[in-house]
A and B are shown apart, each in its own frame.
Chain A
Amino acid sequence: QSALTQPASVSGSPGQSITISCTGTSSDVWNYNLVSWYQQHPGKAPKLMIYEDYKRPSGVSNRFSGSKSGNTASLTISGLQAEDEADYYCCSYTRSSVLFGGGTKLTVL
């Protein structure tokens, strides 16, 4: 199966909101409520930000939210902060594979 599709980069100013999209197919994103999102700062391990489409792990800021419509999942970050600058990856579990998106670099201007 092919990787999920994410924009290569997005940017926003402090205080603004941004949305990162993650497009899959009816075989993955649409068919399972199992999209997760990860934040990765340079030289660090990824960190789980959203799981099961919209759930936030304990300790993750409520500025991060997940949603899904059809074959596309989205990660929205509100009230952008400098520390949000990082790479973000979406992921979808299916019975036959676990797929990542190619990653999106978020720049806080």
Chain B
Amino acid sequence: QVQLLESGGGLVKPGGSLRLSCAASGFTFSDYYMSWIRQAPGKGLEWVSYMSSSGVTIYYADSVKGRFTISRDNAKSLLYLQMSSLRAEDTALYYCARGYNFAYNWGQGTLVTVSS
């Protein structure tokens, strides 16, 4: 069955950087758009970024544009989110998801905390 396993979260100071990873299995990773979606503690969902199967089409929410970079390694079935210039408002549980116009499968998330 489809599995998405996020890693790389942790505590980081404002202005710092972090790279999240998502290991995918159970489907042909290279055939699918993939996304990052986040949820601040006690808050709603925000679609952060998505990337097409080939990597050509990329979307970023305005809130992260210029600070976050999505990438993928189709040979290893891995999705990444490089986050820089982190702010307190980036504190959230970050989910990896399959799809871009809807999220068909979700991982369990990795927690990013931005605090001094």
A97 → chain B closest CB, angstroms: 7
In the complex formed, the residue of A with least CB distance to B50 is A98
Residue count of chain A within 8 Å CB distance of chain B = 21
Residue count of chain B within 8 Å CB distance of chain A = 18
In the complex formed, the residue of B with least CB distance to A89 is B45
Flag if B44 contacts A100 (CB, 8 Å). Answer: yes
A52 on interface, CB distance cutoff 8 Å:
yes
Please encode chain A, from 76 to 109, with 1 for each CB lying within 8 Å of some chain B CB and 0 for all others. Answer: 0000000000000101010001111111000000
Flag if A100 contacts B46 (CB, 8 Å). Answer: yes
In the complex formed, the residue of B with least CB distance to A57 is B104
Flag if B109 contacts A51 (CB, 8 Å). Answer: no
A12 on interface, CB distance cutoff 8 Å:
no
B34 → chain A closest CB, angstroms: 13
What are 26 residue pairs bridging A and B, where the CB atoms are less than 8 Å apart in the complex?
A34-B102, A36-B102, A36-B103, A38-B45, A38-B103, A45-B107, A45-B108, A46-B95, A46-B103, A47-B106, A48-B103, A48-B104, A51-B102, A52-B102, A89-B44, A89-B45, A91-B103, A97-B59, A97-B61, A98-B59, A98-B61, A98-B100, A98-B101, A99-B47, A100-B44, A100-B47
Residues on B lying within 8 angstroms of A by beta carbon are 44-47, 50, 59, 61, 95, 100-109
Residues on A lying within 8 angstroms of B by beta carbon are 3, 34, 36, 38, 45-48, 51-52, 57, 89, 91, 93, 97-103
